[in-house]
Amino acid sequence: MIEVKNLSKDYKLKHKEPGLKGAVKGLFKPGFETVHAVKDLSFEIGEGEIVGFIGPNGAGKSTTIKMMSGILTPDKGSVLINGEDITKHRKTVVRNIGVVFGQRTQLNWDLRLGESFELLKHIYQIKQDEYDKTLDELDAILGIKELLNKPVRQMSLGQRVKGDLVASMLHSPKVLFLDEPTIGLDVSSKYALRKFIKEINALRKTTVILTTHDLGDIQELCERIIIINHGEMMEDGNLSEIVDRIAPYKTLVVEFYDEEAPEIEKCEMTEHTGNIAKYKFMKNETTAAEIIAHLSKVKTIKDVSIEETGIDDIIRVAYTLM
């Protein structure tokens, strides 16, 4: 479906020295600094996959998405969507893709939402019956029809993102790119957005590629993640496999009746405050039940709970490794 081969992009940034002196100097002798935004990235994405791109700010995620959606031209390498090179056949390939940027809208500020959709209908040359059908389908998921007569400039962020999602799906693209779609959204809007992604993926087999900093998005949506940092690929694979590999541990939280907490074999006490102690253990070495059994031999336990390693731990570990 999507093939990315040796993708690279450099930015030339004007290097300015601080202060007035630097500004004047920059006028006569501008220094340039080359930033390698994306370095030699290669991967393949199959039909119907939902892939999460994660990485710290400035890692090159957005640059990659922009190259994949034909907005930026790569310096080296190629992006094939359905076997067609996006830089060479931009106008035909973009018919197969939809893009939503959480931070900017493709809707027209001065128009009503419905007018923006009509414009897109004509730009993509969508037939009327097809357009009606798609709009009904999307309305069933997002409830967009009540907004059709509202000018975009009067919309809340949540409504605007809904509008953007519908706008990106009107021409029934095979691939949907979402660049930080949940940024700044409240809980219910986030929920609606995730539901939307899951449903269009299930209904239409739309391939979804998203970048996000919201770990909830990843946990709920993505089976596969690609971690990028400094423009290079760090990890690419199944989410739970990566979790197992990078952070193969769990934490057992035990509450006792007094402040004394015993040390136990095969696990490490990471925290001990008041009556509560935390024991970190490797999943392949021991189990929670075993530790509880050991503990209860020496002390009376009031309560236990298990902290799964969340995706946020993975990201923290992955980012610091780099």
Partner 1 sequence: MIKYLYIVKTQIIKSLTYEFNVYGNILMQTIIMITSAYFWKALYRNQSVVAGVDEQSMLTYIIISSALSVVMFTNVERRIEQSVIKGTVATDMMKPVNLFGVYLAEDIGSIIALIFQNMIPILLIGGIFIKIPKMADIRDLPLFIFSVLISFLINWLIAALFGMLSFTAVNIDALIQVKKHLLRLLSGSIIPIWFFPEIVANVLRALPFVYIYQLPISIYIGKGDRLEQIAQMKIQFLWLIVLFALFFAAQHRITRKVLVQGG
- State the residues that interact with partner 1 by CB under 8 A: 11, 62, 66, 69-73, 90-92, 94-95, 97, 99, 101, 103-106, 108, 110-111, 115, 118-120, 122-125, 179-180
* Shortest spacing between CB 9 and partner 1, in angstroms: 11
User: Measured from the CB atom, is 52 or 74 closer to partner 1?
Assistant: 74
**Cβ distance 263 to 318 under 8 Å?**
no
- Which residue, 217, 173, 195, is CA-closest to 47? 173
* Shortest spacing between CB 66 and partner 1, in angstroms: 6
User: Measured from the CB atom, is 108 or 201 closer to partner 1?
Assistant: 108
**Cβ distance 113 to 106 under 8 Å?**
no
User: Measured from the CB atom, is 120 or 261 closer to partner 1?
Assistant: 120
Burial class (CB in 10 A: 0-12, 13-18, 19+), 321: exposed
User: Measured from the CB atom, is 69 or 172 closer to partner 1?
Assistant: 69
- Specify which residues 207 forms β-bridges with: 175
* Shortest spacing between CB 259 and partner 1, in angstroms: 50
* Shortest spacing between CB 115 and partner 1, in angstroms: 7
Q: Which residues contact 18 (CB under 8 A, 6 or more apart)?
A: none
- Which residue, 223, 251, 222, is CA-closest to 313? 251
* Shortest spacing between CB 126 and partner 1, in angstroms: 11
Measured distance CA(185)–CA(183) in Å, rounded: 6
> Ramachandran region of residue 170, left (φ > 0), alpha (ψ -120 to 50) or beta?
alpha
User: Measured from the CB atom, is 28 or 289 closer to partner 1?
Assistant: 28
Measured distance CA(257)–CA(209) in Å, rounded: 49
User: Measured from the CB atom, is 121 or 278 closer to partner 1?
Assistant: 121
Measured distance CA(179)–CA(53) in Å, rounded: 9
Strand pairing category for 207-211 and 301-307: unpaired
User: Measured from the CB atom, is 105 or 286 closer to partner 1?
Assistant: 105
* Shortest spacing between CB 21 and partner 1, in angstroms: 22
User: Measured from the CB atom, is 90 or 299 closer to partner 1?
Assistant: 90
Most distant CA pair in the chain: distance in Å? 78
Q: Where are the alpha helices (DSSP H) in 278-310?
A: 288-298
* Shortest spacing between CB 304 and partner 1, in angstroms: 44
Q: Which residues contact 82 (CB under 8 A, 6 or more apart)?
A: 1, 93, 96, 174
Task: Identify the H or E element spanning 174.
Answer: none
* Shortest spacing between CB 121 and partner 1, in angstroms: 8
294, 305, 308 from 275: Cα distances, Å: 18, 14, 21
